Structure 1
Amino acid sequence: MFKHPKESQVSITELMLPAHSNFSGKIHGGHILNLMDQIAFACASKHSQNYCVTASVNRVDFLNPIEVGELVTLKASVNYTGRTSMVIGLRVESENVQSGEVKHCNSSYFTMVAKDKDGKNAPVPGLILDSEQSIRRFARSIARQEQSRHRTTKFKSSEFKVEEHLETIKAHNVKLEL
């Protein structure tokens, strides 16, 4: 079975309240991460028609602060499907309701795994790729997976070679005492 990404796209908009703010008066990053996890779950569950769990989150960069009183919109779409997992692409934007200014606050990729009634990994429908953008997103997810595997292997303690990294490390704010 295959499904079009549009079939499971989800978006939510929420008003940012003072209770969501941190000590500097900006919206707390943890609150935004919680919303991102919720919408990734909703999108993945809608696509797979199963309960889903978060397996990993690929890089969350907070690009612009979000102010109390702004509307925050989160958009989620399935970018990649494996056998039991999906990569959900997320975009977070804030809007100043008085000026109408919209800011891109962050984008991220959540890997979600579908679970059946017994808690076992469940197969997910594949994706129908019908645009250059959907092909680009799918290919980018494959590339991210390959980069992640390479990083994991390169820095595994049994494979790590200190001497290969000393010159790079010395160029940073560090004092070596070996």
Structure 2
Amino acid sequence: MPASGVSAGTYGSATQVAAVTVDAKGRVTSASNNAIDVSSQVGSVLQGFDADTAKTDVAQTFTAGQRGQLTTLTSSSGSVAIDFAASNNFSLTLSEAVTGITVSNATAGQSGSIFIKQPASGGPHAVGGWAAAFLFSGGTAPTITQTASKCDRVDYTIRTATEIQVVWTGNY
């Protein structure tokens, strides 16, 4: 076999990637090393190491309070839709009786609170029709506080997509 003009050696390393050209007969006709330049990608495409950045795949100790946003829910024609991908904590100020509460994106391990508040005037409004996934202690959803401007809290933990265990406290 005639010489290909490619130098014998190892191509590629931790900081270089091999570029190899092969002709139609399967012969290597050139090989070279190209530097891997990620410096322009750090912070945009690549996550650089930062001791203050939370990671999702390791245990961590937080040295300051952690907060999640409080996402506002609304009702329409008596229905409330809770998208658990949007937040962990939700707030609903009642503007009508709620007869159906549906959920989406329920993921095991998520927990949070749903605050349900009666309006200062124009109420009180009842809340019912909880999705079957909501499992209340004793098997029955509570009667929401019927006093103007009072707030009830439903704390939840999602065990499975079809099992959301809840604890209710009211009349705040």
User: What's the TM-score, normalizing by structure 1?
Assistant: 0.26
User: What's the TM-score, normalizing by structure 2?
Assistant: 0.27
Q: Which structure is higher in RCO with an 8 Å CA cutoff and minimum separation 6?
A: 1
